[in-house]
Homo-oligomer: A and B are copies of this chain.
Amino acid sequence: MSQAPMITPLIEKMARRDVITPIEREALANLLGATRRVAAGKALVEPGDRPNFSTFVVSGFCARFTLTPTGGRQLTQINIGGDFVDLHSLLMRQMDHGVVALADCVVAPAAHEDLRRLTQQHPHLTRLLWLETVVDAAIHRQWLVALGQQNAASRLAHLICELYLRLEAGGIASDLRFSLPMTQVDLGDVLGLTQVHVNRVLMDLRRQGLLDWKAGHVTVNDWEALARLGQFDPAYLRLQNDPV
């Protein structure tokens, strides 16, 4: 396989935390199958699916979601290029949620069979993949804190800060600017708010000069103030060096 480039965002993310040997890079690169395009709005994975592969996002923007019996929708995570959206399905076979593309995405499968073989042959790589799912859980916890303890403006500010840092770590954003192809409805489904209230809060942040948001493009004008408002502490993202 000479498809190595597809996996590079993941390798870069991992290499920021720990040393990845050439053999390990090779093993990771051999994991991915043929890429596939998924149009914005389409589901990548449906709730209840039992996939025999995990889906890796090469580029794009997608979200894990859960639908409630009462017609609500909660987005429980946002995934970007370099993320596995359902690495956990290797272990928890049946999907407890779905994944939808928020923007056009390019994705590639990693067969569970190959991943399982990797757990036999590459313990260190296994731990690094395990870490990926553990960071997902840490992000979930941070969102729980936001939903349980912070008000609407604070939650929105926190989300913007988190997304920017994750995008920056993936080399997808810089200079406090990034494209965020989400509607205000999507945002509401992340933050547990209605679209109307998301709009009001957003207008408020704009009026305060904290950020601009035009045509799916965000510019943070005052990172300090935004991070303070969102009570944002990036430690939970584990973007720093810390061998596993």
Q: Give the distance in Å from the alpha carbon of A20 to the alpha carbon of B91 in the complex.
A: 15
Q: In A74-133, which residues have CB < 8 Å from any B CB?
A: 74, 76-77, 88, 90-94, 96-97, 116, 119-120, 123, 126-127, 130-131, 133
A152 within 8 A of B: no
Copies of this chain per assembly: 2
Q: Are B96's CB and A148's CB within 8 A?
A: no
CB neighbours (8 Å) of A91 from chain B are 127, 130-131, 134, 244
Please name all residues of chain B whose beta carbon is closer than 8 Å to the beta carbon of A149 when the two chains form the complex.
68, 70, 72-74, 192
Contact status A74-B137, CB under 8 Å:
no
Given contacts A68-B150, A91-B134, A96-B142, list 15 more A-B pairs with CB under 8 A.
A66-B142, A72-B148, A88-B134, A92-B138, A93-B242, A96-B141, A96-B235, A96-B236, A116-B127, A126-B126, A126-B130, A133-B137, A136-B137, A137-B140, A147-B192
